[in-house]
Amino acid sequence: MTKLRITEYLDLDLVAERWQCNRCGQDLGAAQANYKEGCLVAERDLAEVHPPLLEGQAQSYTPDSQYCRLVEFYCPQCATMLDNEYLPPGHPITHEIELDIAALKQKHGLAANAAGGAKG
Amino acid sequence: MSTIAYSRDHEVVQRLRPEPMTQAEIDAQERIDPVEFDIFKHKMHMIALEGKETTMKLGASTAMRWGDVAFGVFTRQGDLSVCATGIYHHAVLGQIPLKYVVKHWVNEPSVGVKEGDSFFYNDPFYAGVHNADMGLAVPVFYKGELMCFIAAAVHTGEAGGTEPGGTCNTAKTKYDEGLLVPPIKIGENYQLREDILNMLAAMTRDPRTMILDIKARLAAARIAQRRVLEVIEEKGPEFFIGGLRRILTQTGEAARRRVAQLNDGVYRQPRFLDTVGTEAGLTKINLTLIKKGDTITMDFENSSPMLEGRPMNSFFQGILGLSCVYYCGWLFHDLPANNGLLEAIDWRFPDDAMVNAKGDASTSLAPLVQTCFTQGMFLAGARMTYNYDSSRAVAAWFSGFAIPTFGGINQFGEGIADITPEINATGCGARPDMDGVDAAGAFFATMSDCSDVEATEADRPFLYTFRNFFNSSYGHGKFRGGSGVGFGLMVHDTNRFMLGSMGGGSRFPSTLGLFGGYAVPPVFVQTVHGSNLKDLMADGHTPLPNKLAGIYAPDAPEQGNKATSEVNMVVKPFNDGDTYYVAVGGGGGYGDPLEREPESVLKDLRADRVSHFAAREVYRIVYDAETLRLDVAATEALRADSRKARLARAKPFAEFVRTWDSLSPPQEALRYYGSWPNPREGMLPVGQLKAA
């Protein structure tokens, strides 16, 4: 098995050592890097997803944009939202999955790739 | 006094994993027949289950009656071998008080551990969560030899302190929290000591509940003791001691085998809290899971510093306890819930962090710190496990609490203090193959129930104006989170009553989605003092709101002094007829909402389980608002346009980050955070504490 499904939307081509979109196969970068670097990224208006139900009050059902922003990560080809993050404004984007590629290849009986995912 | 120095014992709380095997346990292993062992395991579990059920049946507090109970059988060294519970944190925390008893009291002439004794404890330094979690344990002797301990750990919703209801938003140090009892003997010769009970009753606002809960724990423990002695009589003491140990050993071995099958790697999930108790403020719990071989290491470097003068801290052992809600309930769901699981888990906590409180710091709101962290376990855990078994990769249940806390005089003139039970009606997180279950329970107390409103109204001075599903309470996604519950409380038949709220997530969502699923919206409290609702109900001619959304309508008929508050609301006086509205949230969403089956959205619309706003603007479906008939072609076109719009507004990662990096929260929001954005970089913790 050379292609592993790592999340709902992320495949890992273990031979090429590349992330791919599970829905369309779009390349999303080196397996050693954060796949989000291969995504298109947008900040959403919080009220488009979490509309206020109570107008004119300090509290509603919309997060406080001074505390929280919503960042969405899209596949650049099929535009599927591969993930999103709720972060304080300006907080570094999270590198959530950093797999030990060498261990994974060994687990699946594959030789280590000297190129280390540099191609593509 | 031979082994204690009148201060907290920092050594015993490190002993979370099973103690080394004794020679007696080693000797017993060779003579335990595997079939007899399986029968023994089942029998012991049934004893624990009966203990849990008995505790619930006899208890008085809200949490005890509705299932916030852990009942277990411990080795004579204090390790928890057999446990019946849905509150899995006690599966690894319950043994600390027993190890304390073994260490300090067995050989202490002024105390001792004898047949017929019973011990009580609620200091969270030993019991691990917060001081409303109280435990009672009894030693079991057979022919004069200590065989095991039996204990029940239960949340009794009042523990004294600056506010009623077991949590204190206003606590500044541990001395503001009320009752903090390290393990003490409260009974001997099969009798509770009335002088000790009298003291415990005097230190809390609801003495009747306090005493009834203690007696419930003890009664259940005595029944279990009888059953255990029958097992020992039948199997023999050697088998019994060796069998309890083998359960622990097998659990640890199975956990390590399970972990070894997961992909090696590093999985990160920063978590953010938006309150420090009495005021808003950002803090960060920086969770990193390092999975290598047969071990998962939980690392908390670069988490916010310990908060001095605020109750938003946790002892490290409480964090480990809550990690086991994820481990026991999800990753190791098919293994026994005991501290043998920690053989596969390691941890690294920085000093002076909010997740590693020390000294006199208050931990009264530790449950919020701990559940905030546990969210990270669900999210990082999902990324760690999807490739191994996608059914383990689920979005998180609601973790913002939003619990009404109360105290005062009830409708019968009795002093009461507790919480209401709706925390046991949150929604499940969505899953890879289905929506989350609506109003399922609490993720940290999965065997709990939210009770009938009538049961709560019977001895609390409340009238529920409504309690039902709230369609703006969960996260959207390909599969949506289970719905939470909105409800209204009217204070009834008392003018001597206080109401507040414990929780977080009014500014920063407490509960996030997974793999593109959205978060649970913020929650908050609305109150109406001097409400005319009672008059409107008496009049009977005005249609009154029967769900939470109706409360917010501009033409809502209820008049009075309306105010909103974040869910960390310090208690304030409420009089007869005043009202209080809040929602307990649902679960996080799973996957891209544009992938949700349109028919599932329509089904939710028919059941009022989703808003028309979300159907149109989040799920992007086109339908007739009257007939709820789907326009298939228009929906496909709208969704295609939505995808194009995504690509049009988005930027390549590097370009996005260039702008994003220039942003930051306002300084006042970062007062307790530590150094921005990495709390421990560039500042000494002591400096941060002074700034706070």
pLDDT digits (tens, 9 = 90+) for B534-576: 999 999 999 999 999 999 988 999 999 999 999 999 999 999 9
Q: What is the mean pLDDT of each run of 10 residues along chain B (692 residues)?
A: 74 96 95 96 97 93 87 96 89 92 96 98 91 96 98 92 96 97 97 98 95 96 98 97 98 98 98 96 98 98 95 96 94 94 96 94 97 96 98 95 96 94 95 97 88 94 97 97 98 97 97 98 97 97 94 93 96 98 97 98 98 98 97 98 98 98 97 94 50 38
Q: What is the pLDDT, as a whole number, of residue A57? A: 77
CA nearest to A82, candidates B513, B11, B530? B513
Strand duo B651-652 + A40-44: pairing: antiparallel
Strand duo B80-85 + B295-299: pairing: unpaired
Count of the separate structural domains present in chain B:
2
Which residues 10-49 of A are in CB contact (within 8 Å) with B? Answer: 36-43, 48-49
**Six-digit token string for B469:** 């599903």
C-alpha to C-alpha distance for B594 and B585, rounded to whole angstroms: 22
DSSP-derived letter for residue B541 is: -
User: In terms of CA atoms, which chain B residue is nearest residue A45?
Assistant: B649
CB-neighbour burial class of residue B152 (10 A; exposed 0-12, middle 13-18, buried 19+): buried
Q: Which of B258, B291, B321 is the last residue before a domain boundary?
A: B258
Is B659 inside any structural domain? no
Contact B17, B248 (CB under 8 A): no
Strand duo B295-299 + B345-348: pairing: parallel
Best mutation target among A3, A91, A100, A110 (most B Cβ atoms within 10 Å) is A91
Contact B556, B461 (CB under 8 A): no
Is B426 inside any structural domain? yes
**Residues contacting residue B349 through CB under 8 Å, at least 6 positions apart:** B300, B316, B319, B355, B356
**Six-digit token string for B87:** 């509150």
Q: What is the pLDDT, as a whole number, of residue B3? A: 56
- Gyration radius (Cα) of chain B, Å: 26
Determine the Cα angle at B567 with ends B561 and B572, to 5°.
Answer: 50
CA nearest to B364, candidates B581, B669, B185, B570? B570
What is the distance between the terminal CA atoms of chain B, rounded to a whole angstrom?
A: 39
Q: What is the pLDDT, as a whole number, of residue B67? A: 83
Average pLDDT over residues A37-43: 98
Share of chain A above pLDDT 90, in %: 83
Put simply, the answer to whether A8 touches B617 (Cβ < 8 Å) is no
> How large is the ipTM?
0.95
Look up the CATH number of the domain holding residue B163.
3.30.450
Best mutation target among B656, B661, B675 (most A Cβ atoms within 10 Å) is B656
**Six-digit token string for B93:** 């925390």
Q: Which of B595, B622, B647 is the last residue before a domain boundary?
A: B595
DSSP output for B409-432: E-TTS-EEEEE-GGGGGBPPPP-S
Which residues 38-97 of A are in CB contact (within 8 Å) with B? Answer: 38-43, 48-51, 53-55, 57-64, 66-69, 71-72, 74, 76, 78-84, 86-97
Instruction: For chain A, say whether B487 makes contact (Cβ under 8 Å).
Output: no
Minimal C-alpha gap between A76 and chain B (Å): 7
Q: Which residues pair with B286 in a beta bridge?
A: B270
**Residues contacting residue B375 through CB under 8 Å, at least 6 positions apart:** B269, B271, B396, B399, B510, B511, B512
Contact B42, B50 (CB under 8 A): no
pLDDT band at A74 (very low <50, low <70, confident <90, very high): very high
Q: Where are the domains of chain A?
A: 3-90+97-107
- Gyration radius (Cα) of chain A, Å: 18
Is B397 inside any structural domain? no
CA nearest to B331, candidates B440, B401, B251? B251
Average pLDDT over residues A25-33: 98
Is B409 inside any structural domain? no
Q: Which residues pair with B145 in a beta bridge?
A: B142
Q: What is the pLDDT, as a whole number, of residue A116? A: 46
C-alpha to C-alpha distance for B318 and B93, rounded to whole angstroms: 7
Put simply, the answer to whether A81 touches B594 (Cβ < 8 Å) is yes
C-alpha to C-alpha distance for A94 and B265, rounded to whole angstroms: 15
Q: Would the pLDDT of A12 be above 90?
A: yes
CA nearest to B69, candidates B220, B203, B223? B220
Task: Please give the residue range of the domain that contains residue B463.
Answer: 416-595
* Contact residues on chain B for A74, CB-CB shorter than 8 A: 646-647, 650
C-alpha to C-alpha distance for B59 and A89, rounded to whole angstroms: 46
Contact B150, B125 (CB under 8 A): no
Q: How far is CA A28 from CA A16, B146, B642, B648, B657, in A?
A: 12, 61, 21, 18, 17
Q: Which of B201, B235, B258 is the last residue before a domain boundary?
A: B258
CB-neighbour burial class of residue B201 (10 A; exposed 0-12, middle 13-18, buried 19+): middle
Put simply, the answer to whether B263 touches A36 (Cβ < 8 Å) is no
Q: What is the pLDDT, as a whole number, of residue B554? A: 87
* Contact residues on chain B for A71, CB-CB shorter than 8 A: 656, 660
Average pLDDT, chain B: 95
C-alpha to C-alpha distance for B431 and B427, rounded to whole angstroms: 12
B375 three-class SS: helix
* Contact residues on chain A for B617, CB-CB shorter than 8 A: 48, 51
Dihedral pair phi/psi, residue B176, rounded to 5°: -90, -5
